[in-house]
Structure formats: structure tokens, C-alpha cells
Structure 1
């Protein structure tokens, strides 16, 4: 009997102000160094997805978001090349937050920058750029096949 796939769950914060989205340029990580990405992280054991997103917002940006103030905008199912179930990438928008956005993880994020939604840098993490485009089109779900 086959075992059900195990999915890694990523949480992503989509902060938009005046038509611009907040991106950070990654550094010193095991994934996508030098590329732009929305603030993101992974769910920890026994943690809800909204708790994970609120925690990551505090850790990375120094802002406080109540879990009830997180709106799920988009889900990307990332199919993996290894035959596993892949990853679920959840993209949330904060309806409200408190605090001032700052780069709280300079060892993992070279800089933060606001980019026009219609002019993302070409060096944006591919699935994040994909998700932002799907969000702009009002699509709640997409599948990205990393096996190709």
C-alpha cells in the first residue's frame, strides 16, 4: 500500500501598498540566493498555517499580524521532481498589521524593496512571480510542475 504524499507547507506574505509589493533579496540561504521573494517561511510542527504566517511576519519584518487578519489569496501546488507530493505554497495578505516594516533578518535578506506589481524584477523567484500574477487575475489556485 502506497503512503500518502508528505507536503511541505510554505507561507508567504503579500504586502501591497500604493500598487507596490514588498520583496526581499535573499542571501545566505540554501534556496534562491540573490533572487527577490515575498517574505516567506515554513510551517513548524503543531503550528497552524495562520500562526506560521504571523510568526514569520514578526521574525522577518518586525510587524504584528493577528491570525484573524490574514486573508488567503492564492495557493500554489508545487509538484516536485523527486516524485513526492511537493509543496503547498500559501500566499496571505494582511488586512491589518501593527509596527514598522524593517529587515529583521539581514543575514538572510540583503534588502527590502517595494516593486510595482506590474514591473517585478526579472530576478524574482519564479513561483512567487507566478503566484502574484495569478493573484492579480483573481485565481485562487495554481499548479507548478517543477519536474519539467
Structure 2
């Protein structure tokens, strides 16, 4: 029998606005999740559920994690990532941005994040989740696809 791997899909939403020092992104400080706690990350992100599209997942996460609706999603890029030869599931992340939504973003899951903050894109806080730091550097660049952790990645 073949040893098949699993690809885990997720959607990330980066809310953007113009700040005094240029573009800002809304980030959350992770806590209590067991993954990258103490790191800054997308204010809304999560696994795509069965029967759900990537944009639907991003919109759902916006409501669940930030209490906002009517999010005008812009597709940014897809990131396919792994950790080299480590025996982990591969990840496929669909990244979206938005500059328009209804409601005021607020922390809806305080057991998973301790803080929300608008951060300058040019000066992200430390520490930021490493693969998200890379993704944030590509917002608006028309990159389309990124791969991380693969030998001879194209």
C-alpha cells in the first residue's frame, strides 16, 4: 500500500488600511493554540471545511474571528509549503486581502489570540509567523504562487 500524504488547505485574510506611515495590516497575537503562540499572524485564518471554497472559508473566518461581514476579498496568492523531509502534512494556503468590510474588527476568540493590532506592512512586529512574513512581503505583487520547503522549488 502506498504511503499517501495529506495536503491541508487553509484560507488567510489580511485586512488592510492606509495608516500614517503607509499601508497597515491587522494582525493577531496568537495564544493558547499550541501553534506559534506568541507570534503575530493574520487576524483571520483557518482550515477550509469540507464543501467550502477558499473564499467562503476566508469570509467565514472573518465573521468568526473578527465579527465582520461583507468582506470584499481580493485574491493575493497561493502558498504551497512543507518542512523539507519532515514527516508532516503539506499545506496549501490561499491568501486574500480586503480593504472594505462591514463592522469594526474585534477579537472574537480571546482563547486563541490575546491582541489585535494594526501594524505597518513595512515594519512588521517581532515575532511574526515566518511563512506569513514571506506572504505579507508579496501582497499586491501579483506573485500568484509561492512554494516553501521544497527542494528545487519552482
> Shorter-normalised TM-score: what interval?
0.7 to 0.9
Instruction: Say if 2:147 is the partner of 1:120.
Output: no
Give 1:78's aligned residue. Answer: 81
When the two chains are superposed, the root-mean-square deviation of aligned CA atoms in Å is 2.1
Aligned positions, number: 144
Instruction: Note the residue ranges of structure 1 that are not aligned, 5 or more in a row.
Output: none
> TM-score, structure 2 length as denominator?
0.84
Instruction: Note the residue ranges of structure 2 that are not aligned, 5 or more in a row.
Output: none
1:132 equivalent among 107, 129, 136 = 136
TM-superposed CA distance for 1:138, in Å, is 3.4
- Per-residue CA distance 1:89-148 (angstroms, 9 max, x = gap): 11111253111111001110100001100000120000000001122543221111079x
Give 1:15's aligned residue. Answer: 15
Helix, strand or coil at the partner of 1:55: helix
Q: Write 1 or 2 for the structure with the bigger share of strand.
A: 2
> TM-score, structure 1 length as denominator?
0.87
Tell me, yes or no, if the aligned pair for 1:65 and 1:94 is still in contact at 8 Å. no
Instruction: Say if 2:92 is the partner of 1:88.
Output: yes
TM-superposed CA distance for 1:62, in Å, is 0.3
In structure 2, C-alpha distance between the alignment counterparts of 1:132 and 1:99, rounded to whole Å: 24
